[in-house]
A and B are shown apart, each in its own frame.
Chain A
Amino acid sequence: MAESALLELASCTVRFGGLTAVDDLTLDVAPQELVSLIGPNGAGKTTVFNAIMGVYPLASGGIRLAGRDIAGLAPHRVAKLGVGRTFQNIRLFKGITVLDNLRAAMHQDGDYDLLRAAARSRTWAATESRLEARAMELLAVFGLEARAGELAGGLPYGEQRRLEIVRALATGPRLLLLDEPAAGMNPAETQHLMGLIRSLIERYSLTILLIEHDMKLVMGVSDRVVVLNYGREIAAGTPQEIARDPAVIEAYLGEPVH
């Protein structure tokens, strides 16, 4: 498993002052696997994402992406190595268009420099039309192509959530970190999202780490589920195993089950 894992967390610990937000977490995610992180509020799930992205430093432990040590790298470097993410509270570029949100995400594909941009050179023109075509293609996959020219902040909530996923995909990631993608969605939208997430894995050979509170979604899409409480892993296994685990039930209901 360790040989072929795309993402490896080895005894990761993150501390904020005296608070240990993530405590000695070890986790391997295989290519094209979908692993869900669940746990009560404040269990440290989003902190795991931030540690992977390099937003917060590790107090101890290591993180590897496809065998390469990425602990301590700045977020933009981690992103360039193939990690995309969405945010719990949607963080779209609200004041620019949907299309520009995607083109901003595709900036790594740009192969022209500042002078060529200023002079609108031939490379500039070729690259720009390529980026636009790719962005429109991605938008079409998610049914957002009609929105391309609108400001991202003006989209309805569900579409904003979807756009954030598309934007993360536009960076061409190998690993996608989804932070509560179904938050605030109605059951029908959640159902739709579930199908979408599964299809992404196929279509883009993605590996996904998912944080979600909607248990139906988690149980429906995950290959494996890891349960965190107070920053520690209290259970891991297939969705069926997790549903039966007494420690998980205790963490969620707050009292021991006899």
Chain B
Amino acid sequence: MSTPPAWSHYLPRLGLYAGVAAVLLLVNVGLPRLLNAYLLQILVFAACNIILASSLNLVNGVAGQFSIGHAGFMAIGAYMSAWVSVAYGKTWLAPYADQPCGPLVVSAYLMGLMLLGGVAAAVGGLVVGLPSLRLRGDYLAIATLGFGEIIKVVLLNVEAVGGATGLKGVPQYSTLFLVFGAAVVTVAALRNIGNSIHGRALLAIREDETAAEALGIDSAHYKTSAFVIGAFFAGVAGCLYAHYTQFIHPRSFDFMKSIELVLIVVLGGGKLRNVAIAAAAVTFLPEGLRQVKDLLHLQTDPRMVIYAAILIAVMLLRRERVLQAVLPRRKEGASRG
């Protein structure tokens, strides 16, 4: 059997890539003319949530490692990249501000930062992934919660990144092209990883870790890798988020954010496509609820009440369908309760 030449494998895809890029460019140019800043911001948040939730899906849904500290990785990516931009980036890029090649330089710079933020978060993922080797189920969940809170407390105390007042003056380098492009690339890459040796090893670990080990699957390696990959994409999302809102605060990445992401993954039922849809829906929902708040003249935002109610309702009503996909089945002998 002769191997077909490389181009026959890649050529059909080039068309797709070009098409996606063209659509993204159109969006990048067109949407700001059609929508106001508020709506654009919601769209950007939705794209960030898609990246965050699909990366959390790799950890929670595919690998079955229940993590409720994912916002901590987003925080690392956001703070790392925002700090670089505030401290150095703005000065570096100042000379290009009025040149025609300016937007390209800024985009290239931001892509570098996305990588940097992602890698920094991935290091955090490694730190959290290691305990996951010894912890299971609810204990792991609590440990990841603890990790997220530690990140928050540390950031609140580091004056170099603004401490409790938050980090102001982050330049708005995120463009719709980059944000949506990152979302598309993330979802595609994670889907492909899911459909590979790597993804199937994670699924096997989720289903039965002992059996997976008996088949030669190094569960320690794969579980850690799931945390590292998940954290990387969360860091990328953090970088894009920081460079769009221009202001970040440790409380933007607290336990509530992590729970929001868990809610999305649970709603999505572990299927990547549904997770992406749920991510968009959960981003739009509270914005709609904000109107309710104004209508009823409420003092505080009712959206968290509604979030919580949805979370409980989903667990109680749809648990068979949702949980089959997201949560590992209880194993005989492992628990009596």
Contacts and interface: CB of A to CB of B under 8 A. Distances in A.
Please report whether the interface of chain B is mostly helix, strand, loop or mixed according to DSSP. Answer: helix
A119 interface: yes
B193 interface: yes
B213 A74 contact: yes
Contact of B329 (A80, A94, A101, A105): A94
A112 B216 contact: no
Nearest to B185: A118
A119 B206 CA distance: 24
Contact of A107 (B201, B214, B229): B201
Contacts of A119: 189, 192
B215 interface: yes
A96 B208 contact: no
Contacts of A85: 214
A93 B211 contact: yes
A194 B245 CA distance: 68
A167 to B, nearest CB: 7
A94 B207 contact: yes
A92 interface: yes
A121 B196 CA distance: 11
Given A100-B200, A104-B200, A107-B201, A95 B210 contact: no
Contacts, number: 113
A114 B195 CA distance: 11
Interface residues of A, number: 45
Interface in A153-168: 167-168
Band of interface residues on B: 35 or more
B242 to A, nearest CB: 25
Nearest to A120: B192
Interface string A226-256: 0000000000000000000000000000000
B196 A79 contact: no
Contacts of B216: 76-77, 79-80, 105, 107-108, 171
Q: Which 5 A-B pairs have the closest CB atoms?
A: A110-B197, A117-B196, A79-B216, A93-B207, A75-B213
Given A75-B214, A77-B216, A84-B214, 14 more contacts: A55-B210, A87-B211, A95-B203, A95-B329, A96-B203, A100-B203, A104-B201, A104-B215, A104-B217, A105-B215, A107-B200, A107-B217, A119-B192, A131-B197
Interface of A: 53, 55, 74-77, 79-80, 84-85, 87, 89, 91-96, 100-101, 103-108, 110, 112, 114, 117-122, 124-128, 131, 167-168, 170-171
